[in-house]
Amino acid sequence: MARNKRHLEQKVKKEEIELVAMALLKEKGYDNTSMAEIARSAGVAANTIYWYYENKDDVLLAVLNRVVSQAIADVMALQEQPLRTRVLMLIAQVESSGSLMTDVHSRVSHSPKVRAWHDRFHTMVEQLSVSELVKAGVNLAEALLDARVLIYVIEGLLAHPHELQEREQIVDHALKRITGQLKIPSQVKTPSQAKT
């Protein structure tokens, strides 16, 4: 029982470090968050983190896995929604993780592990996009190129700040260009035009 409790609390300790790291990395980004700060927030000595993780990039990867799992879960929950809605949801979801995606890109050249994670993630998103586009009526031969275009647009939207409305416009426009025509009526009207 005591052993059990202890075992639990140890897992909890790592969990706590990861949650604290996630909050800090989301809020302030990789470079502006020091290991010392993460440790302090988690209530441990600075070097204690190195018992759980090899280095700072490994902490980043642990956080990224959490963030991505959550994002996937959220987007999966919208299975029946139209593509437009799901793309916008994905962007909003990832955006709430602050500069994490930019951080990944900038760490790719420092850490092979981060590079591997990035490549896997990219492939996954690409496959998802292809199947989404095929479902939306794009023929398979072109879907691969269209998926790339769509992903780059999404990445661009994530890397640069946009008004919500502007973001929707760009997504709508890109999807229109890709699928040929908008399949579903959009709600891009300004709030002031809401009826009754």
How far is it, in rounded angstroms, from Cα 118 to Cα 121? 5
By CB under 8 A, what part of segment 96-155 binds a second copy? 99, 102-103, 105-106, 109-110, 122, 142, 145-146, 148-149, 151-153, 155
Among residues 56 and 118, whose Cβ is nearest to DNA?
56
* Gyration radius of the chain over CA positions: 20
Query: Helix-strand-coil percent breakdown of the chain, rounded to 5?
Result: 75, 0, 25
Q: C-alpha angle with apex 175: 65 to 169, nearest 5 degrees?
A: 90
Please count the residues of the chain. 196
| 183 is a contact residue toward a second copy (CB under 8 A) | no
* Part in contact with a second copy (CB under 8 A); list of ranges 47-55, 57-65, 69-77, 95-103: 95-103
159 is a site residue for a second copy (CB under 8 A): yes
Residue 107: both structure tokens together: 């760490």
Contact string (CB under 7 A) for DNA, positions 107-126, x = contact: --------------------
CB-CB contact of 46 with 36 (8 Å): yes
Cβ nearer to a second copy, comparing 68 with 99: 99
Binding of residue 149 to DNA (CB under 7 A): no
- Cα distance between residue 135 and residue 101, in whole Å: 27
Of 94, 89, 93, 117, the C-alpha closest to 105 is: 117
Q: Which of 20, 87, 88, 157 binds a second copy (CB under 8 A)?
A: 157
Which one of a second copy, DNA, none interacts with residue 55, CB within 5 to 8 A by kind? DNA
**Can you tell me which of 8, 15, 27, 34 binds DNA, judged by CB under 7 A?**
34
Among 8, 47, 159, 165, binds DNA (CB under 7 A): 47
Pinpoint the alpha helices (H) of 96-163.
Answer: 100-107, 112-135, 140-159
Residues 97, 60 contacting (CB under 8 angstroms): no
Binding span for DNA by CB under 7 A among 43-51, 91-99, 144-152, 175-183: 43-51
| Binding interface with DNA (CB under 7 A) | 10, 13, 33-37, 44-48, 50-52, 54-57
